[in-house]
Amino acid sequence: MSTTNPPQQPPAKNITVLPSSSQADYIHDIKFDYYGRRIATCSGDQRVTVYNLDEGGSWVLKPGCEWKAHKGVVWRCAWAHPEFGQLLATCGADQMAHIWEEQEGGFDNHGSTPSGLGSGLHTRWVQKAQLTEARKAVNCIEVSLCEGGEGKGRARGGQDGGKMGARGGQDEGKGRARGGKGEGKGRGG
């Protein structure tokens, strides 16, 4: 009986490494946006990071694209469809889910240009809505927005086999969240 060694596979090509960030714990989720040109990661150190693919094919971390999003582990993230703007939903162990919107413009706290940006403008992610008062960690999230671009939205997260939903938008100041084993309240913005 002859034994043959399996053929050696060539090393993988086109492996891309994300630039270093200040995330200091395990990354629990990573999601590409609709076009595959942005990546959002969330981690155990309460942070969310958004990377952009530059024209040369490298992933870049811009100033303002990394922030503390929760008071506990951030379990999951989800992008909304781009027709509604740059919206990202996150959920975590702090019993909360948030919807973040990217806003561009403005200067840093000292009125000077952040490093790496020639125009002095920077990006920041602003919380637009949140689901609160879940009784357990919220450990999954999806974003499904209403057709027609009216600004109304719905986020759903799972907790202990239950589900939560919230509505928020420009014309709707409050939302409601309902949990499987406990009721929760949502605030839209």
134, burial (CB in 10 Å: exposed 0-12, middle 13-18, buried 19+) = buried
Query: What tens digit of pLDDT does each residue of 31-83 get?
Result: 999 999 999 999 999 999 999 999 988 899 999 999 999 999 999 999 999 99
**What CA–CA distances, in Å, run from 138 to 135, 152, 164?**
9, 22, 9
Cα torsion angle, 31, 189, 71, 183, sign: negative
State mean pLDDT over 170-176: 35
Using left for φ > 0, alpha for ψ between -120 and 50, and beta otherwise, residue 186 falls in: beta
Q: Which domain holds residue 58?
A: 27-188
Q: Is residue 10 part of a domain?
A: no
- Domain containing 71 — which CATH number? 2.130.10.10
Q: Taking the model in full, what pTM does it have?
A: 0.68
User: CA–CA separation, 28 vs 86, rounded Å?
Assistant: 21
Q: Is residue 1 part of a domain?
A: no
Q: Is residue 31 part of a domain?
A: yes
Q: Is residue 11 part of a domain?
A: no
Q: Is residue 177 part of a domain?
A: yes
Q: Is residue 176 part of a domain?
A: yes
Q: Is residue 74 part of a domain?
A: yes
Q: Is residue 18 part of a domain?
A: no
Q: How many domains does the chain have?
A: 1
